[in-house]
Structure 1
Amino acid sequence: MTDVTKTTEQDYGENPIGVRETDTYKGEYVHSFVDKWDELIDWDARAESEGSFFIKLLKERGCKRVLDVATGTGFHSVRLIKEGFEVVSADGAPEMLAKAFNNGRKHGEILRTVQADWRWLNRDVHNKFDAVICLGNSFTHLFSERDRRKALAEFYACLRHDGILILDQRNYDMILDEGFKTKHTYYYCGENVRAEPEHVDEGLARFCYSFPDGSKFHLNMYPLRANYVKRLMTEVGFQNIETFADFQETYRQDDPDFYIHVAEKRYPNAK
């Protein structure tokens, strides 16, 4: 078995834009990329751009137990723990989990980490939660509709009867229809770090991440349209889906960098 802690080079083969499978993510987050991830995020800048959006949203809905299914290097898990939430941090990439755990310790917190593939999430996560969060554009790692439906169903099953799912995504509608543009204000806030698409079609968004030292890494992702994601959520069983744009109400911003979907498991009270 390959020791992932020593893997430093990404390998997409001879035809990188032909790599369109969900399991690709397992080889994308190599040690050298994960080690630079926080340069891309910049925790302080990201906290400033988000403000208290997620914290307020969760508290308003009475959430206490949160499952962070795409914890990455632990940014949201650590923030929520410091705000008094009980958090379980999951990720499919062991390199990310290791980084998240170390980041938690640096911030004086011990993360409860679980390595889990979303498609079989409840095999590894056995508790029920008030909220599941899937942030950082992570849902776009799923390339088939079957995988997306399976993951959403697993998220649904993890929730209590009145729980919520918070899932974000890039504004791929704009990228597909108008081309890529970004204010570089939300999520990827690192100084002199660039995250831009090298190739985009209806089935692939291949992004290149360039760092100040000249190193470059890539991620192959599926360009999800916002209405498609909301439809899948509804068909899996979620109710009352509300969509925000760059931490604001959608109608206030026509060309946001990111969308945030908030989907309720419970049915609204009949009047």
Structure 2
Amino acid sequence: MTTTQVRQDYGKDPLQVRDTNHYTEEYVHAFVDKWDQLIDWDRRAESEGDFFIRLLQEQGAKKVLDVATGTGFHSVQLLKAGFEVTSADGSPVMLGKAFENARRRDHILRTVHADWRWLNRDVHDYYDAVICLGNSFTHLHDENDRRKALAEFYATLRHDGVLILDQRNYDAILDHEIAPSHNFYYCGDNVRATPEHMDESLARFRYEFPDDDVFHLNMFPLRKNYVRRLLKEVGFQRVTTYGDFKETYRETEPDFFIHVAEKRYLEEESEH
């Protein structure tokens, strides 16, 4: 990916792009520059409240690895709350934007450019918590990639560490053709994020901005119970799932699911 790239390129048939390695070409400079319009930091902070901060504090976490830094929202929120944070991302363009965003808010990010599948090649430390937020895990299109990434997350955690991973509620879209309301994650004004194509192996989303710019992301539609199963199979002992920052929800309500996977060994397994 070059620094002058401004347009996404999916080739002649965009529905054929079901490849993990393509994510670096999706986050072109022009899209990254507009990403914060889609998120709206202030409104997102209001919608999330202290949910993630509280979760991490309850787990006794102090040292956190943000593996999906994006433009830096969660890294900055955690730094403000007093956590020690390392910020990683597979897109150097995103990391550059995140560093700039943090500096404008009087914080200096400790950044690492890393592919999750080889995370521990570039990250040489142990953490109390790993966070993978912003629907980022959906960029892995191959099951081997998903298992490898989770194994890398697991390996960088201390013996009693915790992984917090979120995902869009693809179950509702796949099963009931319900479009997410975007009340929680995509808070920007006059920005539309809509599913353009959906099948069991591809979720193609269209992002429309007020200046008529249009971008796309091709993602894998992760089902909630599939992700929970993968987390358990990798070795996490207990997985608690929340819907839009609440532990009680009706299956069709949440835009997003948040999985809290504990590495700490438990004699008796508890399910939520």
Q: Is TM-score (shorter-chain normalized) higher than 0.5? A: yes
Q: 1:257 aligns with which of 252, 255, 258?
A: 255
The unaligned stretches of length 5 or more in structure 1 are none
Match of 2:191, as an amino acid? V
Q: 2:162 aligns with which of 155, 161, 164?
A: 164
Compute the displacement of 1:239 (Å): 1.0
Secondary structure of residue in 2 paired with 1:146 = helix
Give CA deviations for 1:40-82 in whole Å, capped at 9, x if unaligned: 0000000000000000010111100000000000000000001
For residues 81 and 251 of structure 1, the distance between their equivalents in structure 2, rounded to whole angstroms, comes to: 30
Secondary structure of residue in 1 paired with 2:159 = strand
1:220 corresponds to: 218
Compute the displacement of 1:250 (Å): 3.7
Q: 2:244 aligns with which of 243, 246, 258?
A: 246
Secondary structure of residue in 1 paired with 2:206 = strand
Q: 1:56 aligns with which of 40, 47, 54?
A: 54
For residues 58 and 228 of structure 2, the distance between their equivalents in structure 1, rounded to whole angstroms, comes to: 22
Give CA deviations for 1:13-61 in whole Å, capped at 9, x if unaligned: 0000111000010100000000000000000000000000000010111
Give CA deviations for 1:92-117 in whole Å, capped at 9, x if unaligned: 00100000000010000000000000
Q: Report the identity percentage.
A: 69
Compute the displacement of 1:226 (Å): 0.3
Q: 2:142 aligns with which of 136, 141, 144?
A: 144
For residues 251 and 101 of structure 1, the distance between their equivalents in structure 2, rounded to whole angstroms, comes to: 36
1:178 corresponds to: 176
For residues 155 and 103 of structure 2, the distance between their equivalents in structure 1, rounded to whole angstroms, comes to: 30
Secondary structure of residue in 2 paired with 1:263 = strand
In the alignment of these two chains, the number of paired residues is 269
1:18 corresponds to: 16
Alignment of 1:81-96 (within 5 A): 81-96=79-94
Work out whether residues 67 and 133 of structure 1, in 8 Å CA contact, stay in contact via their aligned partners in 2.
Answer: yes
Secondary structure of residue in 1 paired with 2:95 = helix
For residues 195 and 251 of structure 1, the distance between their equivalents in structure 2, rounded to whole angstroms, comes to: 23
Work out whether residues 172 and 225 of structure 1, in 8 Å CA contact, stay in contact via their aligned partners in 2.
Answer: yes
For residues 25 and 143 of structure 1, the distance between their equivalents in structure 2, rounded to whole angstroms, comes to: 10
Work out whether residues 71 and 91 of structure 1, in 8 Å CA contact, stay in contact via their aligned partners in 2.
Answer: yes
Work out whether residues 200 and 221 of structure 2, in 8 Å CA contact, stay in contact via their aligned partners in 1.
Answer: yes
Distance 1:83 1:44, change over 3 A: same
1:155 corresponds to: 153
Secondary structure of residue in 1 paired with 2:185 = coil
Which contiguous aligned blocks of 4+ residues in structure 1 show a shift greater than 4 angstroms? none
Give CA deviations for 1:107-160 in whole Å, capped at 9, x if unaligned: 000000000000000000010000000000000000011000000000000100
The unaligned stretches of length 5 or more in structure 2 are none
Compute the displacement of 1:253 (Å): 5.9
Give CA deviations for 1:161-181 in whole Å, capped at 9, x if unaligned: 000000000000001011132
For residues 92 and 151 of structure 2, the distance between their equivalents in structure 1, rounded to whole angstroms, comes to: 23
Q: 1:130 aligns with which of 128, 131, 138?
A: 128
Q: Please report the TM-score for the alignment, with normalisation by the length of structure 2.
A: 0.97
